[in-house]
Amino acid sequence: MEEVELIIDNLDYPQPQSEAFTLQLKEKNGTKFIPIVIGVNEAKTIIMEAHHIKMRRPFAHDLFIQLCELTGCTIHKILIHGFHEGIYDVKIELFCDDIPAAIESRVSDAVVIALKKNVPIFMINRVFEDNCQEKRTLTNLQNEPIWEVSQDDFQDGVDFFLVQPQMENENLADLSLDILESMLNQAVETENFEMAAKINDEIIRRNSHEE
C-alpha cells in the first residue's frame, strides 16, 4: 500500500485558556499537511524533544525506548494507517530479532518517539489524501529554540506555553534549573506573579538541597 513520508512542521499555538494545540505533519516532498489536535502536555513534550531539552527524570517514552533496547528491538518507523471518528490510527513498527512487530500508539506519543530515535513518519496515501490541507506560511518548529522565538504571531503562544497557570508543582520538579530560570523571566515579564512565585519556590527548594 502506497505511503507518504511526513515531517514535523509546526505546532499552532492556542489562544489563552485553550486546552489544545494543532500539530502539523507536512508531506516531505510537497506542500500539503495534516493537522492533528493534541493536548497541552503532549505539545509540551514534543516541543521539549524537538529542541533537545532533557528532563531530570525519564518519561514513559524514554522507558519504552529503553525496553526496546534491552529486548533487542529496533524501532523502524511510525505509520499512520487509518482515521476513524476524528482519531488517527497509528502504529510503531519494530524489528525484534529480525522479526517484524507493531504496537498501536497515539499520534503524539509516536511523534515523540520518532524525534527521540530519528525514525521516519509515514501515512497511508489514501488516509493522507482524505484529510490533508494546503500548507499555509508557517515557521518550522525546529528552526529556533522555543525561548528565542521572536515572531510577533508566536510570542503570545510562547508566553502561554511557558507560564500557563495550570502547570502543577510536580511538573516544575521535572524541569532543569536553566528551564526554570527561563520560565521565571517569562512569568515576570508577563506579570504572571502567581506562577513566578511557584517557580521561584521550586528554584529555592532545588538550590537548598544542593548545598
pLDDT in tens, 123-135: 999 999 999 988 6
Q: Which residue has the higher pLDDT, 2 or 44?
A: 2
With a CB cutoff of 8 Å and minimum separation 6, the contacts of 138 are 9, 10, 24
Taking the model in full, what pTM does it have? Answer: 0.66
Residues 105-113: what's their mean pLDDT? 94
CB distance 176 to 82 below 8 Å: no
Q: What is the rounded (10 degree) CA torsion for 97, 99, 104, 108?
A: 50
Identify the band that residue 177 occupies on the pLDDT scale cut at 50, 70 and 90.
confident
Helix (H) / strand (E) element for 33: namely: strand 32-39
What pLDDT, on the 0 to 100 scale, is given for residue 150?
36
Alpha helices in 88-151 (DSSP H): 107-117, 125-131
pLDDT at 73: 94
- What structural domains does the chain harbor? 3-134 (3.10.690.10), 157-210 (no CATH)
